[in-house]
């Protein structure tokens, strides 16, 4: 079997970590049990470009047990859990091409290797694999029925491709399922971003001045958890409605220019480029901590920070100290890459359970219906989204009410009023 992982001897540790994640992924486990009998993806080849974590491993095993032949590469050079990659190869027979800390060339070589068996389906997190396939693997595209996309940034890129007529097969935007972004982006990122920052820095959050750039679902979650731990939170936004929402949720709202000299911990979650840049570094106080929760490492202008610095050293694992020419220190976490995956283990399995249940069901949907779809970006079908929520609620031992006939009639009527 072809693969490239850091060390196969790490497999026993990885297997324990995968089994630990499995305990808290009951929705996916239910799908796996059904698929083991039904084999709905028999004969399907799927190339996945996802963060190589224990939770992703549980998804890969589910797909494999559904009859699918999968190949996995990393969707970020710094998010791979090497022990998990080793176990997928050694214990589960799944080819993985991922090594934590891989350079750019290796990252793209691994994408090429994950694609090299000419997939029928693609599964992406950030759209690097789809972008690569469209630029360098055109000959394979006629064989591809469809793909899924995990994250906001990827969906934006793919919609841009579709808008300019460049997308050559249908994509299901898993990110846009309610059971994905309302939970994974908000509660997953909200918790795991802080886990990454706190593990890396060992700082106390109570009383800290925290600046959150962007009030999308990720920013909302990060700010929510910071307030819960006693931080004073300021949000920066470019959208007046989101800015207003941030204010009424109890945050301060400032421009980044104003926030730069106020904040002590800065977290970017905008999906945009150079959100924290030269003029902001210049205005910041000594000892500020910078972290990024967005998909790509472009939100903090690291190149500019390097140019402005007289000295750079690692002061703790994943903590780089930049000393500016005036002697001021700026601490950058995880090379400005996704802090939750670079400095911690990403979102907990409990929430990835829903995201990846959507991924598995969307893959099956594309296998069965992909040839009826146009070359466009589609939502997860509403009934799949609701099914994931229903099963998750049941596994969390919660029950909800059903409408009485009188209530149904009332909701359908317009005659009854005051």
- Give the span between the Cα atoms of 235 and 291, in whole angstroms: 15
3-state secondary structure 227-266: HHCCCEEEEECCCHHHHHHHHHCCCEECCHHHHHCCCCEE
Q: Which is nearer to ligand ADE, 50 or 259 (CB)?
A: 50
Q: Residue 128, interface with ligand ADE (CB under 6 A)? A: no
Q: Which is nearer to ligand ADE, 26 or 370 (CB)?
A: 26
In the bound complex, what is the minimum distance in angstroms from residue 201's beta carbon to ligand ADE?
20
In the bound complex, what is the minimum distance in angstroms from residue 188's beta carbon to ligand ADE?
6
Query: What is the rounded end-to-end Cα distance, in angstroms, of the chain?
Result: 71
Q: Which is nearer to ligand ADE, 167 or 342 (CB)?
A: 342
- Give the span between the Cα atoms of 207 and 198, in whole angstroms: 14
Q: Which is nearer to ligand ADE, 56 or 87 (CB)?
A: 56
Residues 25-84 within binding reach of ligand ADE (CB under 6 A):
50-51, 53, 55-56
In the bound complex, what is the minimum distance in angstroms from residue 385's beta carbon to ligand ADE?
19
Over the Cα atoms of the chain, what is R_g?
A: 22
Check: CB of residue 307 under 8 Å from CB of residue 330: no
How many residues touch ligand ADE under the rule CB under 6 A: the total is: 8
Quick count: other Cβ atoms within 10 Å of Cβ 256? Answer: 21
- Give the span between the Cα atoms of 133 and 372, in whole angstroms: 22
In the bound complex, what is the minimum distance in angstroms from residue 81's beta carbon to ligand ADE?
9
Q: Which is nearer to ligand ADE, 193 or 201 (CB)?
A: 193
**Element (DSSP H or E) covering residue 332:** strand 329-333
- Give the span between the Cα atoms of 223 and 251, in whole angstroms: 8
> Which residue number places its CB atom closest to ligand ADE?
346
Site string for ligand ADE, 335-364 (x = CB under 6 A): -----------xx----x------------
Q: Which is nearer to ligand ADE, 49 or 50 (CB)?
A: 50
Q: Half-sphere exposure (CA, 13 Å, Cβ side) for 147?
A: 35
In the bound complex, what is the minimum distance in angstroms from residue 346's beta carbon to ligand ADE?
3
Closest by Cα among 222, 214, 235, 215 to 196: 222
Q: Give the footprint of ligand ADE on this chain (CB under 6 A).
A: 50-51, 53, 55-56, 346-347, 352
């Amino acid at each position: 079997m072809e693969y490239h992982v850091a060390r196969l001897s790490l497999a026993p540790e990885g297997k324990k970590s995968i089994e630990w994640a499995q305990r808290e992924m009951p929705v996916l486990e239910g799908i796996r049990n059904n698929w083991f009998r039904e084999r709905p993806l028999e004969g399907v080849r799927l190339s996945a470009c996802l963060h190589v974590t224990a939770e992703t491993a549980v998804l890969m095993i589910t797909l494999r047990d559904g009859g699918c032949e999968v190949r996995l590469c990393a969707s970020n050079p710094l998010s791979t859990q090497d022990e998990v990659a080793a176990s997928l190869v050694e214990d589960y027979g799944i080819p993985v091409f991922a090594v934590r800390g891989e350079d750019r060339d290796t990252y793209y070589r691994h994408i090429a290797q994950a694609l090299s068996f000419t997939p029928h389906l693609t599964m992406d997190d950030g759209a690097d694999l789809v972008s690569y396939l469209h630029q360098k693997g055109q000959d394979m595209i006629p064989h591809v029925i469809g793909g899924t996309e995990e994250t906001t940034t990827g969906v934006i890129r793919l919609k841009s491709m579709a808008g300019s007529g460049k997308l050559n097969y249908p994509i299901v935007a898993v990110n846009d399922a309610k059971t994905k972004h309302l939970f994974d982006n908000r509660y997953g990122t909200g918790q795991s971003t802080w886990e990454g920052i706190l593990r890396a820095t060992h700082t106390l959050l109570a009383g800290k001045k925290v600046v959150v750039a962007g009030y999308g679902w990720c920013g909302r979650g990060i700010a929510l958890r910071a307030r819960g731990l006693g931080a004073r939170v300021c949000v920066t936004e470019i959208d007046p409605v989101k800015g207003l929402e941030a204010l009424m949720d109890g945050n301060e709202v400032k421009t980044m220019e104003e926030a730069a000299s106020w904040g002590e911990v800065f977290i970017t979650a905008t999906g945009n480029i150079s959100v924290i840049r030269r003029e902001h570094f210049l205005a910041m106080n000594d000892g500020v901590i910078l972290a990024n929760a967005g998909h790509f490492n472009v939100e903090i202008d690291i190149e500019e920070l390097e140019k402005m610095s007289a000295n750079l050293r690692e002061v703790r694992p994943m903590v780089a100290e930049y000393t500016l020419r005036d002697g001021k220190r700026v601490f950058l976490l995880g090379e400005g890459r996704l802090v939750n995956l670079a400095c911690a283990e990403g979102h907990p399995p409990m929430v990835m359970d829903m995201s990846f249940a959507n991924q598995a069901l969307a893959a099956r949907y594309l296998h069965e219906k992909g040839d009826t779809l146009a070359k466009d970006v589609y939502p997860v079908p509403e009934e799949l989204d609701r099914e994931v929520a229903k099963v998750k609620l049941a596994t969390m031992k919660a029950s909800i009410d059903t409408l009485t006939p009188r209530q149904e009639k009332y909701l359908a009527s317009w005659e009854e009023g005051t």
